Amino acid sequence: MTTDIDKILVVSDVDGTILQAGYGIPGKNIETIEKFVELGGRFTLATGRGITATGKYTDFIHLSVPAILVNGGMIYDYNEKKVLREHTLEPEARFVLREIMDVFPKLGVEILIRGLNCAVRMNEEVLNHTAVEHLPFILTDLETVEDGWNKVLFADKPEEILVVKDYVENRCKQDERFRMFDFVQTAKIYYELIPKGINKADALHELAEITDTEMENIVVIGDYYNDVELLEAAGISAVVGDAPDDIKEIADIVVKPCLEGGVAELLEMIMNNELSKNLIYK
């Protein structure tokens, strides 16, 4: 990895990494990102969120290059307000979603279409998701939502999400239409249906091409299972201290917990030339 800060690109996950929903962004993270960018470093985000849910934080977080959104399904330039790359779900997603909704009548469901959140079934978790994040949404039904979905988010209590996950995994073995898509758990209470073969790592390679950055000079930081491919693809990987233990095992570096400024700690290590692939900080 280079020591030239202007050749380094840092990519951070959002929820549980750079901020905590309901608590916001630690001030230390905001200050250190600004300092890192002023010194010539490049910084951006890789998240499961869409355009609107991520954009509400871009007034506080200095993004010097486009961001990876929807778990790799989109690359969006907030400075130009332009979609650079986008992958959407095949129309068969409607059949898969209808079956899941019929089997689990209390499961909360949101469909994301670019910056628009369509709540097709409300429950406590969906209500909290939209309220805590102050997300604008349309309360609608599955039949009236147009095609071109970026993802489907399922929300419920942790134990219920595990039941849904088990059902989907079994259906993937039985029905080709389920196998047309990927499913990923993005939090204890969230499970998502996304385009096949799409993840943050593939988008990271695309972003490296767009920004003319060597993969070995990309540093990523995350906290959860939907960050695994991202962590494995980067030159150097870090996770916050409150990540699950098996996610910590994947990373090169473990920094402070999210709300204690783990992202800031990582950036300070880079600015102080303390980061090396040969040094494992755990």
Is the predicted pLDDT of residue 241 greater than 80, yes or no?
yes
Q: What does pLDDT average to over the chain?
A: 93
CA–CA separation, 109 and 210 (whole Å): 33
Mean pLDDT (whole number) for 133-157: 91
The H-or-E segment that residue 151 falls in is strand 151-155
Condensed to tens digits (0 to 9), the pLDDT of residues 185-226 reads: 988 999 999 999 988 999 999 999 999 999 999 999 999 998
Q: What tens digit of pLDDT does each residue of 98-135 get?
A: 999 999 999 999 999 987 889 999 999 998 888 777 77
Q: How confident is the model at residue 281 (pLDDT cuts 50, 70, 90)?
A: very low
pLDDT at 43 over 60: yes
β-strand 218-222 against 190-195: which pairing, if any? unpaired
pLDDT, residue 172, reads 98
Q: Average pLDDT in the 234-242 region?
A: 96
Residue 282 clears pLDDT 50, i.e. is over it: no
Q: Specify the pLDDT at position 276.
A: 62
Res. 158: pLDDT tops 70: yes
Angle at 136 between CA 134 and CA 138, to 5 degrees: 140
pTM of the model: 0.87
- Flag whether pLDDT at 280 surpasses 70: no
Per-domain residue ranges of the chain: 5-86+199-271, 93-195
- Mean pLDDT of all residues in 246-273: 96
Q: What homologous superfamily is domain 5-86+199-271 in, according to CATH?
A: HAD superfamily/HAD-like (3.40.50.1000)
pLDDT tops 60 at residue 80: yes
Predicted local distance difference test score (pLDDT) of residue 84: 97
What whole-number distance in Å separates Cα of residue 251 and Cα of residue 231? Answer: 7
pLDDT for residue 107: 98
Can you spell out the DSSP letters for 171-199? HHHH-HHHHTEEEEEEETTEEEEEETT--
Fold category of 93-195 in CATH: 3.30.1240
- Residue 279's pLDDT band (boundaries 50, 70, 90)? very low
How far is it, in rounded angstroms, from Cα 93 to Cα 95?
5
pLDDT greater than 70 at residue 278: no
DSSP 256: S
